[in-house]
Amino acid sequence: MPLSIIQFAKKVGMTKEELRVRSSSLGFNIEADAKVIEDDLADLLYEEFTNELKDTADAYDEIIGKELEKEIIKTQRKKTAGKPPLKEKKANEAPAPTTSRDKKTIIEIPDTISVKEFAEKTGLTPVQVIGQLMHNGILANINQQIDYETAHIIAQEMSIQIKRKHTAAESEDILKGDIEKLLKEDDPSLLVTRPPVVSIMGHVDHGKTQLLDSIRNTNVIATEAGGITQHIGAYQINKKGKIITFLDTPGHEAFTAMRARGARATDIAILVVAADEGVKPQTIEAINHAKEAKIPIIVALNKMDKPNANPQRVMGELSEYGLNPEEWGGDTIMVPVSALKNQGLDKLLEMILVVAELSDLKANPTRPAVGTVIEAHLDTNLGPVATILINAGTLKIMDSVIVGGTHGRIKLMKDANNNRLNQLKPSDVAQIAGLNKTPQAGDLLQVVNNERIARQKAEEISGLIKEGAIQNMGMGLSEIVNQIQEGKLKTVKVVLKADTKGSLEAIKESIANELKSAEVAVKIIHSGVGNITESDVMMAAASQGLVIGFHTNVTPQVDRLSERLRTEVVVYKIIYELLDDLKKLLMGLLEPEIAIVELGKAKVLKIFYTQKTEMVLGCKILEGKAKAKAKIRVEHQKEIIGEGILESLKIVNEEVKEVEKGGECGIRFKGKPKIEEGDILQFYTEETRHKTL
Ligand code: GDP
């Protein structure tokens, strides 16, 4: 039963109008004529308002801290007057002041910690810590952050044992979504079995959605919320006391898009094949995508209720693609089902549990949580909400988190059955609220110590995103060549698309015959007839390979995606050229084709600032456009006098990415040439071009 607005305002000590204004300043919208307030929103606001009170108390602490600091500085000045600050502790110096803490306990300290927290954790008084820091030449106040290395020196001097705690990963790792790196440090003895996460794939209309709905409906867990369910991108069921997590955006496109972003969000793929239709193009794509991700496949032979269902024929077709049914001596589990009539679903779930057990899925539930965004959107009431799948650790209410380039505190967690949760364990999924901005599917979530670190890391990451280091999962051609030259890459993975079945087979055969002796092998991870799709690019990106097309088109969308994911798409019109290039590539001899793209010209009207290698210039764009990060040739009296880089671009005070012809802008130029008023700047970029022979 929602609370009346008046009642709620009273509860938080405000008038209705005050409540509206304060809520809106926090980004929550309450309509002027609203009579009631939804429970979720009421909880969130209550949390925010009580936090504000806490913040005021913290500010008060800070003032007291500053006074304390002044006192300490005074006494230390008296004591150390005339002595230089000591960097190293002398061996024969008297032991540090004793503390009440047992010296044998090892205290976990994160990468950075405030003086106050460090004092609390080590049982020292803030005065002792500040004094010791001063002793080492560091002037710090009680709220100041010290790094682990400094904390270690202080701890040693005070005879306290500390060790480094699991902390936020490097921003680059979070940005790149390098989840393996994030999770790798886990102590194996802390790992415990976690539920499997399952994705459903298959050809369109073979019954993926129906299967997800039927599994969910036949396994609804009684909920506090009275069985009202919502689609949040994933749900969990309980089968004989064992949990299974299903991602409910079916299709290999969603699956590979996540993988291309570095996310690890699926343990088992269910391949839905309609028993009346058999293997279709997307069935083959799904098989290849799952195989490339090295996850086990269970086949659901669907629509068994149909009179023309022919499972034997379908099994035969599947075995051509390497999926051999168990009953024929193979190792692929195939379960006949009817998603529509709820037949065979129990058996399918049992098989999922069997495969999960064989896969030995484990995670450490005790570490700070690491998770993956399954989907996210902006809710009119709750602000940004995201569905999170937990990869490891435990996520709790009020945890501070970094999610992609944003951050926040977990203020609300709800599962697909509308149950409010206080914590999430590995493989659990829930919708969360409390983030500052809406993240993207595939972004990584990471719990950090406090909001300050979350904010700082998120800013670093946003900075990296702005600089263009975005989602570089793929490997450009020059990187592939480099890796081959260095002997690091032994297999080049290729997604091959051709206009006809005949040419596709011919190319595959030639690759198999003519390139088999090369030291570096070519592995075709997917091939098909038709144009290059975004899904092809994502698959190549996720496997750090490239896409080769033969007589196919490259749409602008594919072009943009390949650039964003830094994945090469090369198109040929002659088989011989394709093979020749591949041969050169395998020998590490292929040089990428670099093309210069002229962007535009500008006249320098004013010099605002000059430094050794940096200048700020007021310019007018004469032709084309200026683009941030473009290269610049400097033209002085019709002669090129040098080159540099367009570091950043501003219109008045706002940073922009581009300025078009006629526009006036401020340009931060990096480079050696000394530019004068009246000079012309020529902007250009270098691109590795798609080959169209
Ligand atoms: P998706 O595109 O793979 O998600 O396919 P849908 O789940 O949307 O199903 C496509 C169509 O097949 C719908 O009309 C479903 O009702 C129907 N369908 C799905 N499963 C079955 C089944 O087991 N038996 C029959 N007869 N029809 C089914």
Q: How confident is the model at residue 174 (pLDDT cuts 50, 70, 90)?
A: low
3-state helix/strand/coil string of 536-576: HHHHHHHCCCEEEEECCCCCHHHHHHHHHCCCCEEEECCHH
- pLDDT surpassing 70 at residue 477: yes
- Closest atom of ligand 1 to 213 CA is 7
**What is the pLDDT, as a whole number, of residue 176?**
52
CATH 3.30.43.10 fits 195-360, yes or no: no
- Closest atom of ligand 1 to 338 CA is 23
- pLDDT surpassing 80 at residue 569: yes
For residue 370, how far is its CA from the centre of ligand 1 (angstroms)?
35
Among the ranges given (9-18, 26-35, 63-72), the one the predictor scored with the smallest mean pLDDT: 63-72
- Closest atom of ligand 1 to 343 CA is 23
- pLDDT surpassing 50 at residue 693: no
Ligand 1: residue of 272, 304, 340 to mutate (most ligand atoms within 8 A of CB) is 340
pLDDT digit string, tens, across residues 105-138: 778 887 788 888 998 888 888 888 888 888 877 8
Judge if the beta carbon of residue 207 lies within 6 A of ligand 1: yes
pLDDT: which is higher, 630 or 223? 630
Query: What Rg do the C-alpha atoms of the chain give, in angstroms?
Result: 30
Shared fold status for 106-164 and 195-360: no
**What is the pLDDT, as a whole number, of residue 341?**
96
What mean pLDDT is reported for the chain?
Answer: 82
pTM: predicted TM-score of the whole model, two decimal places: 0.62
For residue 338, how far is its CA from the centre of ligand 1 (angstroms)?
9
Judge if the beta carbon of residue 213 lies within 6 A of ligand 1: no
- pLDDT surpassing 90 at residue 200: yes
Q: Give 567: exposed, middle or buried? Use CB within 10 Å, 0-12, 13-18, 19+.
A: buried
**What is the pLDDT, as a whole number, of residue 356?**
95
CATH placement of domain 477-592: 3.40.50.10050
Query: Rounded to an integer, what distance in angstroms lies between the CA atom of residue 677 and that of residue 675?
Result: 7
CATH 1.10.10 fits 106-164, yes or no: yes
Judge if the beta carbon of residue 342 lies within 6 A of ligand 1: no
Residue spans of the domains in the chain: they are 106-164, 195-360, 477-592, 595-688
pLDDT digit string, tens, across residues 335-361: 999 999 999 999 999 999 999 999 999
Distances (CA, A) of 464 to 274, 427, 441: 45, 29, 18
Judge if the beta carbon of residue 204 lies within 6 A of ligand 1: yes
For residue 210, how far is its CA from the centre of ligand 1 (angstroms)?
5
**What is the pLDDT, as a whole number, of residue 359?**
92
- pLDDT surpassing 90 at residue 486: no
Following DSSP, what letter does each residue of 22-76 receive, concatenated?
HHHHTT----TT--EE-HHHHHHHHHHHHHHHHHHHHHHHHHHHHHHHHHHHHHH
- pLDDT surpassing 50 at residue 96: no
**What is the pLDDT, as a whole number, of residue 325?**
93
Ligand 1: residue of 205, 216, 247, 335 to mutate (most ligand atoms within 8 A of CB) is 205
What is the mean predicted confidence (pLDDT) over 153-165?
Answer: 83
- State the architecture of 595-688 in CATH terms: Beta Barrel (2.40)
Judge if the beta carbon of residue 252 lies within 6 A of ligand 1: no
Q: How confident is the model at residue 389 (pLDDT cuts 50, 70, 90)?
A: very high
Closest CA to 285 of 326, 311, 251: 251
